[in-house]
Amino acid sequence: MAPDSFESMLNAVQAFHDKHRFSEEGREDLAYRVALMAEELGEISACITKGRGRESLSEECADLLILLIGTAISADLDLCTAFWQKIEVLENRESRVVDGRVRVSQFDDEVR
């Protein structure tokens, strides 16, 4: 298994969860995980708005990725399959420029 594969990352996060016994009764709380992800998004924002540099931004993005993978483990989600399913949906969407920025989204005026 390649060290940079999704499976390797998943196994590393699972090992971290096992080490700290996250799955023991009452220790997993998805609402708490969401709060931690929101905190990491704030730290990512601070890196950008306060010019903390690429290294800090990279570290904060890694923190968010680890939390996201951990949330998938905790909620027993197949994140890899969900990722590829969502990419397929996104690839079939058109983009729009909204307020000078590119958006690829399901817009309200489109047929669902």
pTM of structure: 0.83
Domain boundaries, given as residue ranges, for the chain: 6-78
Strands (E), 1-112: 95-98, 101-104
Output the average pLDDT for the chain: 92
Of 59, 30, 67, residue with least CA distance to 43: 59
Phi/psi at 47 (5° precision)? -60, -40
pLDDT (tens digit per residue) in 7-36: 999 999 999 999 999 888 878 789 999 999
Its CATH architecture, for the domain 6-78, is Orthogonal Bundle (1.10)
Cα separation, 48 vs 42, in Å, equals 10
pLDDT (tens digit per residue) in 69-91: 999 999 999 999 999 999 999 99
Cα separation, 32 vs 108, in Å, equals 31
pLDDT (tens digit per residue) in 37-57: 999 999 999 999 999 999 999
